[in-house]
Structure 1
Amino acid sequence: MRTAAILLLASAFVAAHGPGGDDEAAPEAAPAAPVAAPAPAPVASSGKAAPAGCKAVLGDANWPANDLFMSAMPNVINSQVATAGRLAKRHGPGEEGADEAPAPAGVKKPTFRMNAKTVADVEAAVQFAAKNNIRLSILNSGHDFLGRNDAASGLALVTTNLNGMKISDSFIPSARGDAQVVPGAPINTMRIPATRQAYVTIGVGLGTQALNDALAPSNLFTLGAAHGPVGVAGGWAQTAGHSPLGRHFGLGADVVVEYQVVTADGKLKIANAVSNPDLFWALRGGGGGTYGVVTQATIKAFPSPKMTLTAFFMNTTKYEDTDSVYAPAAKFHNALPAAVEKGFSGYYYLYRNAIKGAFVSINENANGAYANATWQPILNNMLTYPGMSKDLLVYQTQDFPNFKAWFDEVFGAMGEMHKRDVNSPRSIARSIFADETLKRRHGPEGDAPAGDAAAETEAGGITPMASRLLDASALNNPGLARALKASMPTTPMGQLRGNVVGGGVISRGGADTSVHPAWRRALVHLISTTSTQEQPSAAALRAISPASGSYANEGARDEPNWQQAFFGANYNRLLSIKTKYDPEGVFWVTPGVGADLYAVKDGRVCSAAANGSMPLLSRSAPNTDSNKFSGGDEEADTTSFPILMGAQGPYPNPAMMPATPAAGEAPEGSMEGMGEGDMGGMDMGASGAASAPPAAATKPISGVEGTMGGTSAEGHSHGNAADSAPMAAATKPISGVEAPMGGAAAEGHAHGN
């Protein structure tokens, strides 16, 4: 147990301190003199125009000249330097920055890049792309695991700088729409009664953490991704938008009451219940980058709840035992429907030899006693299975007074321009969610030029994964254990990531959104992913959930029957809306609605007719023209990924496995024989202190029904890039480490994205 805790802390240190382990804020450098970007090497024209029905690419006779780009969009950047294979990026109008590190060999990118700062910029970019028949890709916060925010040519439109915000106590839909928010303008505050909701209008570039930081002075919060930098109004909410508290408040698509969007004609449109209602319906679940460029949204906000985090970690007795974990894992899944019913939600990881999870409960259920009564019987039962270690169990609960305190503990507070506060206290609670890969995927924080968040926004590339939405029936399917094993990637670092983010309010919504209907039945979104370019498979999960689907933001590029899998019965209606507002295919993402109308031919996007075929209900979506891959989930516990929960402790390794104890002796770190007198004063108060660990972890808790079939299974993993305090040796603090578990530390301030 002590070894595991030390490893947890070690991995947390790397993520919290940033590249190179720096613990001090770097001194501000004097402004550098503008450096002219190198001129791009000329590209010889082929002398031929793009084939009929195909987008023009650099080198075609009908590719627009550079000065046409510049005159139509004064802020545009020529992003390719052919002789060096590097990007030259402009930091602002008239100011050139040094070019970046070379792109990976062979990776192609859009030829020009527009960092939009106004709606007029967006309109100009869309009009130019449509008029000149070039590829247009939309980049917001850079988080798209299917690579749909990048292309091999054309124009990249970056919307990160559209990040204004205002709070209102009411909203009435109208054809005029809400007033446009202004980036950089002061953000208002207001007090809303605890029984009411508010509304917040945000620019599309505003990220989850920045949004909730700004809402906190009004004691409000709203739904967002389980990773701070992800834009709320972009592809996250436009595709469904799952979150740790969705069970209580709905999906991201459910809470949007208005979008403002520039469509393929280059004009801003208001989309709400009374203005362009068909477009509004499509934008609430039909996928990002498909119907237009969203510039702002108005969404519901809610009184900030009290929260309790519960985290655990267990593994097989032998590291090489990669079979024993699936039977207890199936029982864990059996218990989840009852846990959701009791108000829990969150996240878990299943490895070939370990299971870990982090779940939240809120308001009247936000206390350690409630969490313990739910989780201890479940975990006790799992530990009785053959092959599971009885003594290496990390278990901890922690209270938070409001959403921001919890989110800061999970992600760490953010300062100016998303700079990580490296000098703030680090709660021991963050050690269970350390994540180095997330930092590597999204880059070090704080390196954007002042006032230009878009300058550091880059597409992350394609990440191999496969997923399935699982309802209560699938979670109790007799073949679940076999399906879990079959879905586990074959590489040593393969993992299944479970998002317990359904049920409750989500199951009762949906009539006015285009979210896949399977979301209204699902309790778990389960993802298979790995550290390599191995393409995982969800075939076994599909077999136990034939009427369900997958999530288009976190699914397989080669998902079979992709229209049904990603959009369900809504696909045909979505396609008719797509062709109404974008008849010429200005916007194209794959997989996405209308992807089957086009295909890549000789490196360019062409209509299906130009490819000599007609669109059909194809088995797999057309390939994209982007060839940038993320390299897989590169770390043991990567969470370059959703953005869910940072690595909750290290990936299981042999050093973590306990030594075999002498006959009749409880292993060091076991919970056997621990009574109240051994709890070291750790009780569960509202201050954010850690609760007592499970007493006699291998025995049912007295008076608590501990069946794994569901009645006492009430935990939902919650996890983001945070760390929750592990229980070293069940009740002992880690030697030499100060563990500030009191109130202030519960609102930790180190940021790790």
Structure 2
Amino acid sequence: MCHFLLPALLALLTGVNAINFAWESVQLKDSDVGNFSVIAFGDKSKLSFLTSTPACKAFPGSSDWPIDAEWRQLNVSLGGVLLKPIPPAAVCYPGPNYDANKCSYLFQNATFTRFYINDPVTVLTAWPQGGTCYATPFPVGNCTQGGFPEYVVNASTVKHIQMAVNFARNKNLRLVIKNTGHDFVGRSTGAGSLSIWTHYLKSFEFLPEYDQGEYSDTAARVSAGLEAWEMYAYMDKYNITLVSPGGSTVGPYGGWMAGGGHSTIGSIYGLGSDQPLSLQVVTADGRYVTADPDTNEDLYYALRGGGPGTYGIVTSAIVKAYPPLYVSESVVTFVGGDFSMLNTSITNPSLGLNFTFTPPASTKSIETFFEGVNFYQYFGKKIVDNGGTAYSYISRTSNSSFSFTTNIETPGMTKEESFSFLQPLYKKLNDIGIPVNQSMPVTSLSWGSTRQGEGDSPGNSRFATRLFPYSNWEDGPDGTVFNNTMAAIRSTIEAGYTFHGIHIKPDEATAGYPGNSAVNPAFRTAIMHADLFDNTQLQGIAPALAKSTHVKLNDAMNLIRNATPDGGSYINEADVQEPNWQQSFFGDKYERLLEIKRDRDPWGLFWAATTVGSEEWEVRTADGLPTQNGKLCKVGSSA
């Protein structure tokens, strides 16, 4: 049987659906609506093919934008949690919000704190906002809201979310959902939108016993606002393992889970989307429901890997828990080409300097460098086949030099076992002329970031991704398919891009019970997920230059796509202009997901770039860039 304890008792007493935490029992009732009909629940049975909907979402200044009195009444109904935030960098621009000290703080202190994570509008990739108010000590022009939301609901109860959903649907508003802001393509921001901020929904309960279907083991109740660093603290407290992101401030049970969610232990326990046994969700009609293998099965399927911000707003989940797991970590670093500064000593007695830089292993031969890279990539097959993961970065550091570094994670191995396991890799590198030294791995129960949720700040560049099929490795290190794949990777690095490869094998067997999720099928047959980073900083550059840099990035990615025809792309770390994104992100599951989307959200309330059904709408930007700084309208409409 399921153990619901206090939440179950609360549910019985209040007559609401199953809940995980007390704040979920605070729900909107029909009697709460009164004469404020714009927060009333939706009823899709009243819609028909004859129902006409506006060509565009309401926008500030348009005739259908809510009047101030409606916003005030919404705030009263919400109990005062409706925010109207300004862009954080407004303090740097001339005008009523200018504050020199606060502007200085953005440059000197904010990046070492939780300032941006705790800001209601900041997303951690800045360019999708449209660059209308970025932090700079030398501002040009004025600060405007741009792609930031107009209003934000700082949700702390289910009722807050339900009211916001109903208000947005009934008033034809663009709605966005934001948790911690780890958003690379602009799905958590949008011009003229109402945002639901789930950041402070933070609750946890360990369940020593939990039974559901074939599952009978430990589990945990987790809320949507929890961050990875908080999850690691709970793991330590209860001596358990939970599948969580490596990035300390990523929220596991929002968009990370909805898009798939990879982690250090993905080759043992699968993806983030494989973990939920039950989900609590606010749907597009404003209702609060449970989704599990026996209830609202379509939602349960779609919410586990079928894309973020599309089918509903998850408030909490019950997820699988595992025994404590030690992870051994090893680092391999080497460089190739002309590194004339490697053996550098800095001596200046007058300044008290006496420093010698200890260089990484090196080879002057670029061919040897890439031979070492290729052997490492092939060794990745052995790593994932034994439950491990590996995180590498390969970059061109000058016209004649390259660098490589990787962190190899071997869950379940002692440091001695991991040392022995990795010896063939080190031996091969030494044999070909890359003199890497093998040191004893570091073993720990805490394999995530050691940061306590501090230090994240917005980046401002673009990248694209690819899921590399395991089959590309199966013809061996001398095989044509494998070497063509390596040649494609090398070409992108030589073109100046940084290649970030994550060896991981989250196949169906690893995923375990309950299976049957909507995650990209390319994940199930993958051996590596990789990002290709374009380091061009987009803030303040001309639109024509931004467009031309993307053309070059896409050309480089096409080399990889052509070498991996059976691959795909990870929706959470992707190019918002990914070609044929429906196939790349969802494979053969797209049509089923589109049916679920249209059935569950016939109003088109939940919209986010390159998610299921999003092709029916477009953001109309003045500069033609794929930002969120524009009105959201139906494709082909004349409005």
TM-score of the pair, normalised by structure 2: 0.70
Q: 1:213 to 1:507 in 2, by over 3 A?
A: closer
1:268-347, aligned counterparts within 5 Å? 268-319=288-339, 323-324=366-367, 325-347=369-391
The answer to whether the 8 Å contact 1:489/1:528 transfers is no
C-alpha change, 1:226 and 1:563, in structure 2 (3 Å) is same
1:172-226 Cα shifts (integer Å, max 9, x gaps) = 569xxxxxxxxxxxxxxxxxxxx97411111100011202212322211201111
Residue 379 in 1 paired to residue 426 in 2? yes
For the structure 1 residues 285 and 489, does the alpha-carbon distance in structure 2 shift closer, same or farther, using more than 3 Å as the test?
farther
1:99 deviates by 12
Structure 1 residue 244 corresponds to structure 2 residue 264: yes
Q: May I ask how many residue pairs the two structures share in their alignment?
A: 483
Judged with a 3 Å threshold, the aligned counterparts in structure 2 of structure 1 residues 506 and 241 are, in CA distance, closer, same or farther, namely farther
SS at match of 2:169: helix
Q: Distance in 2 between matches of 1:87 and 1:146?
A: 29
Given the superposition, is the C-alpha separation of residues 272 and 99 from structure 1 closer, same or farther in structure 2, using an over 3 Å criterion? Answer: closer
Cα deviation, residue 600, structure 1: 2.1
Q: Percent identity?
A: 27
Task: Decide whether the 8 Å contact of 1:56 with 1:134 is kept in 2.
Answer: yes
Structure 2 distance, partners of 1:400, 1:229, is 23
- Residues of 2 paired with 1:319 and 1:397: CA distance? 27
Matched letter for residue 377 of structure 1: P
Matched, 1:520 2:524: yes
Partner of 2:466: 468
Answering whether residue 615 of structure 2 is matched by residue 596 of structure 1, we say: yes
Aligned to 2:502: 499
Out of 567, 572, 578, the residue aligned to residue 548 of structure 1 is 567
Structure 2 SS opposite 1:261? strand
Structure 1 218/327 Cα, relative in aligned 2: closer, same or farther at 3 Å? same
Say if 1:87 and 1:102, in contact at 8 Å, map to a contact too.
no
SS of equivalent to 1:316: strand
What CA distance in whole angstroms lies between the structure 2 residues aligned with 1:481 and 1:200?
Answer: 41
Residue in 2 that maps onto 1:59 = 61
Q: Look up the match of 1:69.
A: 71
1:259 touches 1:280 (CA, 8 Å); kept in 2? yes
Amino acid at match of 1:59: G
Amino acid aligned to 2:152: R
Give yes or no for the alignment of 1:356 onto 2:356.
Answer: no
Confirm whether residue 229 of structure 1 aligns to residue 249 of structure 2: yes
Deviation, 1:98, is: 13
Correspondence list, 1:117-136, <5 A: 117-136=156-175
Report the residue type matching 1:361 in the other structure.
Answer: T
Match of 2:443 among 368, 379, 400: 400
1:413-432 deviation per Cα after TM superposition (whole angstroms, max 9, x unaligned) = x3xxx4x6xxxxxxxxxxxx
Q: For residue 561 of structure 1, what is the aligned residue in structure 2?
A: 580
Could you say if the C-alpha distance between residues 77 and 199 of structure 1 is closer, same or farther in structure 2, counting changes exceeding 3 Å? same
Deviations 1:22-57 (A, max 9, x none): xxxxxxxxxxxxxxxxxxxxxxxxxxxx99321011
Q: Residue in 2 aligned with 1:103?
A: 133
**CA gap 1:259/1:508 in 2 versus in 1, 3 angstroms:** closer
Q: CA deviation at 1:66?
A: 2.5
Aligned twin of 1:607: 634
Contact 1:467–1:550 (8 Å) recurs in 2: yes
1: CA distance between counterparts of 2:97 and 2:182?
22
State the one-letter code of the partner of 2:492. Answer: S
Name the aligned partner's letter for residue 424 of structure 2. Answer: P
Cα distance in 2, alignment partners of residues 256 and 99 from structure 1: 28
Query: Offset at 1:508?
Result: 5.9
Alpha-carbon shift at residue 128 of structure 1 (Å):
0.9
SS of match in other structure, 1:221: coil
* CA distance, structure 2, for counterparts of residue 99 and residue 136 of structure 1: 13
CA contact (8 A) 2:277 2:292 kept: yes
Structure 1 partner of 2:138 = none
5+ residue gaps in structure 1?
A: 1-49, 90-96, 175-194, 421-438, 444-459, 613-753
Higher strand proportion (structure 1 or 2): 2
Gaps of 5+ in 2: 1-51, 103-118, 123-130, 135-142, 341-363, 397-401, 477-481, 538-548, 622-629
What do residues 601-634 of structure 1 show as CA deviations (whole Å, max 9, x unaligned)?
Answer: 362111225259xxxxxxxxxxxxxxxxxxxxxx
Mapping for residues 572-651 of structure 1, pairs under 5 Å: 572-601=591-620, 603-610=630-637
Deviation of 1:400 (Å): 3.0
Q: Residue 337 of structure 2 contacts residue 366 of structure 2 at CA under 8 Å; is this kept in 1?
A: no
More helix by share: 2
SS at match of 2:306: coil
Stretch moving more, 552-561 or 322-331: 322-331
Q: How far apart, in 2, do the equivalents of 1:381 and 1:222 lie?
A: 35
Contact 1:75 1:114 in 2 (8 A): yes
The structure-2 alpha-carbon separation of the partners of 1:481 and 1:87, relative to structure 1 and needing over 3 Å to count, comes to farther
Q: Counterparts of 2:515 and 2:508 in 1: how far apart (Å)?
A: 13
State the distance in 2 between where 1:462 and 1:279 align. Answer: 34
Query: Residue 231 of structure 2 aligns with which residue?
Result: 211
Q: Distance in 2 between matches of 1:566 and 1:463?
A: 21
Q: In structure 2, do the counterparts of structure 1 residues 250 and 272 end up closer, same or farther at CA, with 3 Å as the change threshold?
A: same
Amino acid at match of 1:556: D
Residues 133, 98 of structure 1: alpha-carbon distance in 2 compared, 3 angstrom cutoff: closer
Q: Say if 1:340 and 1:504, in contact at 8 Å, map to a contact too.
A: no
Q: Which amino acid aligns with 1:574?
A: L
Aligned partners of 1:76 and 1:114 also within 8 Å: yes
1: CA distance between counterparts of 2:460 and 2:121? 24
Is the contact between residue 415 and residue 443 of structure 2 (CA under 8 Å) also seen in structure 1?
A: no
Aligned-partner SS, 2:309? coil
Structure 1 counterpart of 2:383, one-letter code: A
Equivalent of residue 78 in structure 1, options 69, 81, 84: 84
Contact 1:197-1:303 at 8 Å conserved across structures: no
Amino acid in the other structure paired with 1:56? A
The two structures, once aligned, show a CA RMSD in angstroms of 3.1
Rate the CA distance shift 1:51–1:520 in 2: closer, same or farther, 3 A.
closer
How far apart in 2 are the matches of 1:72 and 1:156?
14
- Tell me if structure 1 keeps the 8 A contact 2:271–2:506: no
Q: Secondary structure at the match of 2:210?
A: coil
User: Matches of 2:70 and 2:240 in 1, distance apart?
Assistant: 46
SS in 2 for 1:122: helix
Q: Secondary structure at the match of 1:585?
A: coil
Alpha-carbon distance in 2 for matches of 1:562, 1:599: 15
Amino acid in structure 2 at the alignment position of 1:301: A
State yes or no: 1:480 paired with 2:507: no
Greater relative CO (CA pairs within 8 A, separation 6+): 1
Task: Give 1:121 shift.
Answer: 0.7
Distance in 2 separating the partners of 1:367 and 1:600: 51
